[in-house]
Structure 1
Amino acid sequence: MSNNNIVIREIQPEDDQQIAKVIREVLIEFGVPKVGTAYEDKALDCMTKTYDTPKSKYFVIDHNGKIIGGAGISQLDNYEGNVCELQKMYFLPEARGTGLGAKMMAVCLEQAKQFGFEHCYLETLPYMKAATKLYARVGFQSLDKPMGYTGHYSCNVWMIKKL
């Protein structure tokens, strides 16, 4: 797939249904548990509203009107400190291996800096190897235990990056 006609932009209400479908499809593809992960998040069906809060933003990858991925930044839940969380970063197969992950990561981390966060935290699963490699490549480091409480107790890889 060429990067022509691909735009990374803020989510709009008309994107909600598409991005929820993308995220659930990717989670099913990877065999992720449906409990204790983003799969069961109520936020998936109303992403525009969920990210319409201070210091929170969600971006989608739009390819000619079709949403093929997304990622967001928001304050880390249940944590005292100036730490955001990289949230719900999932791409359909056609968006993988194209450099869009690195571009999306750059957009999200720049937004986190603009919001004034000092660190960015994320949670993932060990078998999401390509994503974990990308996170390490941009400076995320592994943690021994989770920070805050996101409700994603099935995710057992925790990483953080100083912004």
Structure 2
Amino acid sequence: MEDGLKAVVFKCGNEEYAISIQSVISIEKEEKVTPVPHLPAYMPGITEVRGELVPVLDFEEILYNRPLVAEESKMLVLKTEQLSLAVRVRDAKEIIDIPAERLKEIGLAAYRRTEYFTSVAQLENRLITIIDPEILTESLDGMKEIREYIAEAKSQEIS
């Protein structure tokens, strides 16, 4: 992070968050999300993006325990080592360069429920919380089963 961070900034609730541009495949309008029974509340279902089935995570549900209305949202399509996924956010508004000296570690990183918050960008009149999607997908309850479900669905597509 010596050179800083190029990140996609998005809104959830009234706050701004960012994810490294290296993890972002695309920003999409939400199309059809297919519900799957027994998924965690933060996952409204799966969707197809560029021919690939991906789980949809509702970031507003994860952070604030309230679902986003699909018509009022955008989807950030992300890639992690384990899987691709779509994160439903209120708005994805810009790509910015954050200088390394503006990135501050946060004390809450040790708190298990928010360990995916890696730092905060302190800009002139904004605070932007930086999220690591790798840690996010590892820390959410139920994600292991979801990774297995997506792998199984992909293998059935191939056969």
TM-score w.r.t. structure 2 length?
Answer: 0.25
Bigger proportion of residues as strand: 2
Bigger proportion of residues as helix: 1
The higher radius of gyration belongs to 2
